[in-house]
Structure 1
């Protein structure tokens, strides 16, 4: 009897152990995906996410690794093919915030390089690695996808975290570049721009931005939740918007709408 898992779609999710990444994994599991769960540490949160995904019916391959280490990219992509024999989606969610918000004039080369290495360089080359393998594996002519999770800071200026903004704006161009390159291979590429999302990463600015949300900084006056992003990613990689590629989807409560 054929392995029923061969009929299920497979996704790699980077930075998947908590926050937005965990919600993306949950939504993909509910959409019928098996998963390669990547994060740079295997801790209690990692283990808990594995349990949750398996309870949702997914087969999950754990794969620890830092995407800034380019030498580990081939093994991460291989994990999907070794366990499941296919790869239908790569979700580039892993990213870091600045260590210390502060004056743009005080950004050091070390801080800048750290943001670029994870948020932009790692994502670019992992996307390249996955795309090469997808093209080479003789898989379906359409229906596969790559998602790049950037930020509203791909467009909004926040001088107190300048290096983060630069890295995220670079991801917007990365999505467009790969969208054009991969369209003929049947691989769609999407950018997701989360706005103010309630996660551990935003805990330190919860009071500041909470007040601004109440005052209408975004038309939808609430914090976004990780599940808001997860639902959007699952919709895209499930093929519900087939005649689109290279688009940026703002999951931000209207934060990026220009207003007078």
Structure 2
């Protein structure tokens, strides 16, 4: 198969259709990456993200993928390799929230499995698949794996138990892959967003606005998707290779313990 010349690095962004994922795709495109992005459906939102990537001077390839369906992971890799011949950066951004907020004592096995299948199980095995590629195929570009987790990796919310549990495992995932891939010169990072203005938070916007006024976030405002994206792009480009295994908080001070 004839590949497009790999003069530019390629990033694979899961959950890249909208919100934080879209901002990450655009920020990486502006840093010189061509983008393979995935999501569960290709629609006007996905097409808009691809258009923004192309407007930034990059190539875009959209692949329909449900991260929880492990059998689909190879098809994503195959599409990425057919697109450019390699993957230099994986941004594991895809994730879902709790199906409903409610009492910890009422969490159902179905809701638990649905969230962990995407946020943890799917993320782990997609990361494993890309890591195998990275250690077996050399690249002239800096290489990185970046997992977008959440302040819920450490901060508990009893109304979203399954979500918190799924995110709490991602710091260990990042540490494990950082150790395994350090000798292969693949940097691994975790990015922890706080309360970010996205389609996922639209339904609870009024509640958060009230809590901002009550001092929940020291910065006293929403975080924006592009603020997360700028951190991801900085980590991806090889500027901080000796910091592999690090965690970057993008939360306006929310996670800082206060007496």
- Deviation string 1:213-256 (CA, Å, 9 cap, x unpaired) is 12221211110000010000000001222211111111000100
Distance in 2, Cα, partners of 1:83 & 1:25: 16
Distance in 1, Cα, partners of 2:228 & 2:156: 21
Is the contact made by 2:4 and 2:83 (CA closer than 8 Å) also made in structure 1?
Answer: no
| Paired residues for 1:88-99 under 5 Å | 88-99=88-99
The answer for the alignment partner of 2:178 in structure 1 is 179
User: Is 1:212 equivalent to 2:200 in the alignment?
Assistant: no
Distance in 2, Cα, partners of 1:67 & 1:245: 25
Is the contact made by 2:119 and 2:166 (CA closer than 8 Å) also made in structure 1?
Answer: yes
Q: CA deviation at 1:5?
A: 4.4
Distance in 1, Cα, partners of 2:138 & 2:197: 40
The answer for the alignment partner of 2:31 in structure 1 is 31
The answer for the alignment partner of 2:199 in structure 1 is 200
Distance in 1, Cα, partners of 2:179 & 2:213: 40
- Deviation string 1:179-219 (CA, Å, 9 cap, x unpaired) is 11111111111101100000111112111111111222121
Q: CA deviation at 1:6?
A: 1.6
The answer for the alignment partner of 2:106 in structure 1 is 106
The answer for the alignment partner of 1:119 in structure 2 is 119
Is the contact made by 2:212 and 2:221 (CA closer than 8 Å) also made in structure 1?
Answer: yes
- Deviation string 1:95-126 (CA, Å, 9 cap, x unpaired) is 00111100000000000000100000000000
User: Is 1:190 equivalent to 2:192 in the alignment?
Assistant: no
User: Is 1:22 equivalent to 2:22 in the alignment?
Assistant: yes
| Paired residues for 1:67-82 under 5 Å | 67-82=67-82
The answer for the alignment partner of 2:245 in structure 1 is 246
SS at structure 1 position matched to 2:178: helix
Q: Which consecutive segments of 4 or more residues in structure 1 shift more than 6 A?
A: none
Moved more, 160-169 or 45-54: 45-54
Distance in 1, Cα, partners of 2:128 & 2:56: 30
User: Is 1:41 equivalent to 2:41 in the alignment?
Assistant: yes
SS at structure 1 position matched to 2:226: helix
Structure 1 unmatched runs, 5+: none
The answer for the alignment partner of 2:153 in structure 1 is 154
Structure 2 unmatched runs, 5+: none
Distance in 1, Cα, partners of 2:131 & 2:100: 34
Distance in 2, Cα, partners of 1:220 & 1:186: 36
SS at structure 2 position matched to 1:243: helix
SS at structure 2 position matched to 1:76: helix
> What's the RMSD between the two structures over aligned residues?
1.3
Q: CA deviation at 1:4?
A: 8.0
